[in-house]
Amino acid sequence: MKPFDFFIVGLLVGCLLIYNISKYWQRYRLKRKLSVARRAEKEAVKFLEANGYHIIDVQKRVPVRTYVDGKAHLNSVVADLVVRKNGRTYVVEVKSGKQARRVTSARTRRQLLEYFLIYRPDGILLLDMENRQLREVAFQVRPVALSRRRLIMSHALALAVGIALATIFFWLDSFLGFQFW
């Protein structure tokens, strides 16, 4: 073998080694993250029960059918916990670390709004396990402007039709002598 051949073989072995190390590192980080999440959820159950919440379900999965160009795609939405207290049902999202501090971040807000729309609970709770802080998140969803405009237009149309009919009946009664009432 020539020196260049050793260089190529070394380069290939080095690339393969770097690839395997990066894959191992990714798996390690994912397992660690899942382990922390599972531990946080177990602690969350104890925390909620200690604060008077009754655990209804853990990792509650709800199937959702999404249609794209008429073709159905089956997905699911999974909430960490569903709990009940004082006759009210709540969906609980358990967060730890930086995620929990940024309640209004786009990702967290979209996730909580998804729970609000899918589960239709009485409330959404965000549980920060790192700081042991439970926060209630509420959404007020207004109809879009287009719907409001349609409502105004339909009322205006009804008013115009009413005025037109009243005018016609008045004219028929006054000039032609038809008696409608």
pLDDT in tens, 69-95: 999 999 999 999 999 999 999 999 998
16: three-class secondary structure by DSSP: helix
Lowest mean pLDDT among 65-69, 74-78, 171-175: 171-175
Q: With bands split at pLDDT 50, 70 and 90, how would you rate the model's confidence at 108?
A: confident
Q: Cα-atom radius of gyration of the chain, to the nearest Å? A: 31
Question: Could you give the strand order of the β-sheet that contains 133-137, starting from the edge strand earlier in sequence?
Answer: 54-68, 71-85, 88-95, 123-128, 133-137
Looking only at the bridges linking them, the beta strands covering 88-95 and 123-128 are: parallel
pLDDT, mean over the chain? 83
From CA 108, how far away is CA 137, in angstroms rounded? 11
Residues 6+ apart with CB under 8 A from 41: 58, 80, 81, 94
More confident call, 79 vs 13: 79
pTM, two decimals, is: 0.59
Amino acid identity for residue 178 in this structure: F
**Could you say which DSSP state residue 49 is in?**
H
> What does the pLDDT read at residue 86?
95
Kindly report the number of other CB atoms within 10 A of residue 101's CB atom.
13
For the chain, the 3-state helix, strand and coil shares in percent, each to the nearest 5, are 55, 25, 20
Place of tokens 């994912």: 30
From CA 7, how far away is CA 13, in angstroms rounded? 10
> What does the pLDDT read at residue 35?
65
Domain chopping of the chain, boundaries: 36-137, 142-181
From the candidate CATH numbers 3.90.320.10, 3.30.70.1880, 3.90.420.10, 3.65.10.10, the one assigned to the domain spanning 36-137: 3.90.320.10
From CA 43, how far away is CA 56, in angstroms rounded? 16
